Each structure stands twice: as C-alpha cells, then as structure tokens.
Amino acid sequence: MKIAAIGDLHVTEDSTAPYRRLFAEMSDSADVILLCGDLTNFGKTREAEILAEDIRLCTVPVLGVLGNHDYECGQPEEVCRILHDGGMVVLDEQAHEIDGVGFAGVKGFLGGFGRGELAPFGEPMIKAFVNETNNEARKLENALRSLRTEKIVAVLHYSPVVETLQGEPMEIFQYLGSARLADALDRFDNIAAVFHGHAHHGSYEGKTMRGTPVYNVAQFVLRDTFGKPYVVMEV
C-alpha cells in the first residue's frame, strides 16, 4: 500500500480550492491520503467547509487527525463533522482498516521528553495538563490495541519523539510533543510507520526507543527536504 501524507494545511476562510490540485496529484500517487492535523487555521466553520470541498474530490480514502489550530474556535466536533461529511475518516477513538492495513490516530498533546517531561505534581492545573497528555496516549493505545492487522500506521499531530523536532528551538520542545505518545506506540511491534506534523521547522525522520520509524510530515519540512509538500511511502 502506498500512503501519501501531509500535515499543517492551515486552510483559511478566504482560500479558494487550496488543495484540490494537490489532492488530485496525491490520489494519483497513492492508495491512501493521511492528513496530520492543523487542517484549518483557526478551526472556523468556513475553513473546514473549504477543505471538505477539496477532500470530497479525492479518489482514494482520506484519513487524518485534528491539530491544535483546529481547536482554536472551540468547536472541534463541528470541524470533525464537516470533514467527515466531506469524506474524511477522522481518527480518534476509533481505528480504521483498509485492505489489511490498520490505521490509528489521535491529536496527541504536549508535555515534553526525558528530564524535561512535565510530571503530575503540584497545582491542580498542572495535574490537569498532564492528565490531558495521558488521555491522548491512552486513546492512542486503545485504538492500536483494537486492530488485528499485520501492519499498523499511526497518525498524530504532536510528535512522540525528540528527533523530528531538531531544528526547532530547544526551549519549545515541550510544546511540540510528548514522550508519553511514544510509550503507547512502543507497546506494539507491528507499527510500520508513525506520521505527525506540528513542528514546522523540525526534521523529517526519527524513531521511538523501540525503533519504530517516525516521520514529521509538516508540509514546510517536506518542502525543505523533498521540494514538495507531501511524501509518498509504501508500507
């Protein structure tokens, strides 16, 4: 199966068919299209509707997750509904299977890595913050566990590893992802690839402690690396 992946589309409400031509190209190049969050710029209804119009014309399945920008207007459920009506499978609580390959995904959350990882200690707001990260990791693990396919592809917005953040200021690494997501991934040995976005100035490739390959497919990273805003990979 060939997968075309892209993250950080940031569709604005004054856009006109912003990804129609690109999605047609991706549909011709792959069997599945993955969208790794920040699909809209502010999570506005019109932004989601514009993207849904382009998704509707894709000739292969489109799966993806929301990003932090898609929450800005406080209506992520409405964004999900519009994108779903456009033909996109929004991965979160529910995994999905296509031709024997399983797909599981969540937005993820921030929290840091290694010694810089935030602990659930102190003020209630800190504990609530860490609990949100833990909830996203639990949702990811539950979705992965529900699959019985030989191969699995994981889709995130926030990064599960430090390697794909290289190029970003180190001071903001804790805002770009969480090692708790990698902990969930490393409980499984049949994950073929993990795709995420969010780190616009990060690096393309990394891996979890167990060796699972992780790819930052934020379109800005891919343009710098490959000269085009998406990547095609065979699993």
Predicted local distance difference test score (pLDDT) of residue 68:
98
* In the chain, % of residues over pLDDT 90: 98
In this predicted model, what pLDDT tens digit does every residue of 221-230 receive, in sequence order?
A: 999 999 999 9
Distances, alpha carbon 201 to alpha carbons 113, 225, 229, in Å? 18, 11, 13
Q: Is the pLDDT of residue 93 over 90?
A: no
Q: Where are the beta strands (DSSP E) in the chain?
A: 2-6, 32-36, 62-65, 88-90, 96-98, 101-105, 151-155, 191-196, 205-207, 213-216, 231-234
In this predicted model, what pLDDT tens digit does every residue of 182-197 receive, in sequence order?
A: 999 999 999 999 999 9
State the first-to-last Cα distance of the chain, in angstroms, to the nearest integer: 6
Q: Into which CATH architecture does domain 2-234 fall?
A: 4-Layer Sandwich (3.60)
Take residue 197 and report the two structure tokens written for it.
């976005």
Q: How many CA atoms lie within 13 A of 84 on its CB side?
A: 10
Of 170, 171, 137, the closest CA to residue 154 belongs to 137
Over residues 172-177, mean pLDDT: 97
Q: What residue ranges do the domains of the chain occupy?
A: 2-234
User: What are the phi and psi torsion angles at 187 (to 5°)?
Assistant: -85, 0
